[in-house]
Amino acid sequence: MSTQIGFEQPSYLEYKGKYKGIFSWILSTDHKRIAILYLFSLLSFFAIGATLGLLMKIELIAPGKTIMTAQTYNAFFTLHGIIMIFAVVIPGLPAVFGNFFLPIMIGAKDVAFPKLNLLSWYFYVTGVSLVLISQFTGQGPPDTGWTFYAPYSFRTTGNMLPAVFGAFVLGFSSILTGLNFLVTIHRMRAPGMTWMRMPLFPWTLYATGWVQLLATPIIGITLLMIIAERTLHIGFFDPTLGGDPLLYQHLFWTYSHPAVYIMILPAMGAISEIIPTFCHKTIFGYKFIVASSIAIAFVGYFIWGHHMFTSGMSGTALYTFSLLTFIVAIPSAVKVFNWISTMHKASIDLQTPFFWAVGFLFVFMIGGFSGLILGSLATDIHLHNTHFVVAHFHFIVFGGTGYAFFGAMHYWYPKITGKMYDSRWANTGLVIFFAGFITLYGEMFFLGMKGMPRRYYDYDEIFHTGNIFSSLGAIVMYFGLAVIILNLISSLRNGAKAPADPWGGKTLEWTIPSPPPTENFEEIPVVTKGPYDYK
């Protein structure tokens, strides 16, 4: 069933090697199996994070206590943030689709260091486990927010050590993935695949790899400093000992701002794969998209202070960070222009992945524009730490990385599973999800402008109506998510058999069977053309 004419190899799902049963998965160094391991663990953690989010919104549907105490609310938004950021959107596309498709799209049999790849998954699961353990031990779960700001993070009696150390371990997972992808791309491209013939998803994984490699160690050392502060009272961030809490913020955001480019660049890469395929047209401005990916990764290192405009930084720092923040918007705009230009006069095949791509463009633009409003010093003074910020980052991170993830999920589902998903349920789920998403987060812009703070358990009555809308949106969105995911799960059993190339894609993954055999290619291909060679 998994073999195609001329192909004698079993698929990667059926391959029988040294180990049996579950061990053939958790001890496998096959990049495709590791991708599936990541997929299952990531979706499980996403389910936990999403449920926390839903419960928070139910709490916020009315002022005062609704279903939980204030302390629980603080613990919930902390865990929600840690899981969503460190366990879902940062690993996100690279760990799942990068692992599965990078070697295939460049014509390789695996990544450069398959054992390190498996190790990165072990670090991932260990890190998240430590974070989850922090909920149930010590004197209560962490309540600092995922940002662990000093001095509260070393003064709180909440159980910070496992959570902070868990985040540290997750950093190793990210670094190893980035390192592996960088070497893979440098050394293992198929004969004839020059840099400028490489598809755009691998290009974004390349740019992202540098960010994973060079930014993550900074948060690593910063988290170690928090641990030193809590255990040794070392004094780096403690004002009573001479430390500056603001330095913590500098160090934290020096990583966490580039981290958002880890989240979004592969997402943009996936969108750059989906759009040409369903437009049956080569991508507009390939070189500009490559250049803008590198530019975003580069400029993104120098703008972290825009998270700190109201913190007490010097005027010079304020102006510098604001200016550089505006500059980083330019390469993103270049990409949006190129994607839309690709669609211009194209013969579009209206399929689920394309709908997700269009949804991405819509919400990413809203998220991006709201970012400019926040990047502007004067308006930020009013909007900082309000729900406007919460809306901004959910539009751009959930909207950006999330929509791209779901788009990629549906785009590559036939290749990964060998089945077709049910497109009516997929599209229905998408519409419900989208309606809920826009209501939930769109309303937050208005709540924020009116002055509702973020991370507050309670609020003034003037915000009540807006919160009702927003929380109802959450329930609708959650329901939409359930439809989408259940459809993908049920299609595993009930879906039609997928051909090698259901969409008419031109990149290398569509030339091998669905699902792929363990070694990907019977023979390493020789590449003679660019990646989106339509007509």
Tell me which of 119, 247, 346, 449 binds another protein, using CB under 8 A: 247
* 78 versus 99: smaller Cβ distance to another protein: 99
149 binds another protein (CB under 8 A): no
Question: Cα separations (Å) of 331 from 182, 201, 238, 324, 369?
Answer: 22, 16, 39, 12, 14
Tell me which of 21, 232, 344, 523 binds another protein, using CB under 8 A: 232
Residue 480: closest CA among 356, 303, 299: 356
Compose the 341-380 pattern: x for residues touching another protein by CB under 8 A, - for all others.
----------------------------------------
Instruction: Return the half-sphere exposure (C-beta side, CA atoms, 13 A cut-off) of residue 264.
Output: 32
198 binds another protein (CB under 8 A): no
Binding segment (CB under 8 A) for another protein, from list 141-149, 230-238, 338-346, 401-409: 230-238
185 binds another protein (CB under 8 A): no
190 binds another protein (CB under 8 A): no
Counted residue by residue, the chain has a size of: 535
Joined tokens for residue 478: 């959650």
Compose the 251-290 pattern: x for residues touching another protein by CB under 8 A, - for all others.
x--x------------------------------------
Binding segment (CB under 8 A) for another protein, from list 42-50, 120-128, 247-255, 492-500: 247-255
291 binds another protein (CB under 8 A): no
139 binds another protein (CB under 8 A): no
Helices 200-232 and 245-279: angle between axes, nearest 10 degrees? 160
48 binds another protein (CB under 8 A): no
Burial (Cβ within 10 Å: 0-12, 13-18, ≥19) of residue 141 = buried
Cα 87 to Cα 317: distance, rounded to the nearest angstrom: 31
Cα 369 to Cα 329: distance, rounded to the nearest angstrom: 9
Burial (Cβ within 10 Å: 0-12, 13-18, ≥19) of residue 156 = middle
Tell me which of 39, 213, 291, 468 binds another protein, using CB under 8 A: 213
Cα 194 to Cα 426: distance, rounded to the nearest angstrom: 37
Compose the 15-34 pattern: x for residues touching another protein by CB under 8 A, - for all others.
xxxxx----x--xxxx--x-
Sorted by sequence, the CB contacts under 8 Å of residue 109 that are 6+ apart come out as 103, 519, 520, 521, 524
* 179 versus 475: smaller Cβ distance to another protein: 179
179 binds another protein (CB under 8 A): yes
* 296 versus 357: smaller Cβ distance to another protein: 296
Q: Which residues of 299-332 are buried (b: 16+ CB within 10 A; e: fewer)?
A: bbbbbbbbbbbebebeeeebeebbebbeebbebb
Tell me which of 140, 217, 285, 502 binds another protein, using CB under 8 A: 217
- Least spacing, CB of residue 241 vs another protein, in Å: 5
Binding segment (CB under 8 A) for another protein, from list 208-216, 287-295, 337-345, 527-535: 208-216
DSSP state string for 206-266: HHHHHHHHHHHHHHHHHHHHHHHHHHH---SS-GGGT--HHHHHHHHHHHHHHHHHHHHHH
115 binds another protein (CB under 8 A): yes
Residues that bind another protein (CB under 8 A): 15-19, 24, 27-30, 33, 109-110, 112-115, 175, 179-180, 182-183, 186-188, 213-218, 220-222, 224-225, 228, 232-236, 241-244, 246-247, 250-251, 254, 301-302, 305, 312-317, 320, 518-519
